[in-house]
């Protein structure tokens, strides 16, 4: 009786213990769209804590979109910093530092971050637009 009970317990444990499937962390293709009405210059974007997941773009004109840039890992939020020209002065807009610790990664996708507006304090509003799943070969 004890042997069959122990066998039954092991059988239930064996059936219930299956490996959880995780989607890959990346790569993720990201592009930036400028919908604010001002040209962006000296743009810096960072998609994760990895050093290689930071890039600089010289200029993103009004109502234009960059080409896709491949990042090792990306999250639904990103660090964004850009200069805009207000008359004869330059203002820096920035999301500030983003804590990526508890965010879920975007996995293997193509996404667009649309900068739709910014506040007087210089904080941009970014809209994440998922586009399609990447097909990796």
pLDDT digits (tens, 9 = 90+) for 26-60: 899 999 999 999 999 999 999 999 889 999 999 99
pLDDT band per the 50, 70, 90 thresholds, residue 61: very high
Instruction: Give Cβ neighbours of residue 88 (< 8 Å, ≥ 6 apart).
Output: none
pLDDT band at 7 (very low <50, low <70, confident <90, very high): low
Q: What is the pLDDT of residues 66-114, one digit of tens each?
A: 999 999 999 999 999 999 998 899 999 999 999 999 999 998 999 999 9
pLDDT at 29: 95
State residue 81's pLDDT score: 96
| Distance (Å, whole) CA 34 – CA 112 | 10
pLDDT band at 136 (very low <50, low <70, confident <90, very high): confident
What is the b/e burial string over 66-83, where b = at least 16 CB atoms within 10 angstroms of the residue's CB? beebebebbbeebbbbbb
């Amino acid at each position: 009786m004890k042997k069959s009970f122990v066998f039954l317990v092991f059988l239930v444990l064996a059936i219930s213990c299956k490996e959880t499937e995780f989607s890959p962390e990346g790569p993720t293709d990201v592009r930036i769209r400028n919908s604010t009405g001002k040209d962006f210059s000296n743009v810096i974007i960072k998609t994760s804590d990895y050093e290689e997941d930071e890039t600089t773009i010289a200029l993103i004109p009004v109502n234009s979109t960059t080409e896709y840039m491949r990042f090792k890992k990306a999250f639904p939020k990103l660090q964004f910093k850009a200069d805009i020209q207000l008359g004869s002065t330059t203002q820096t807009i920035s999301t500030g530092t983003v804590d990526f610790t508890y965010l879920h990664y975007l996995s293997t996708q193509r996404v667009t971050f649309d900068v739709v507006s910014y506040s007087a304090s210089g904080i941009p509003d970014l809209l994440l637009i998922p586009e399609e799943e990447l097909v990796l070969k």
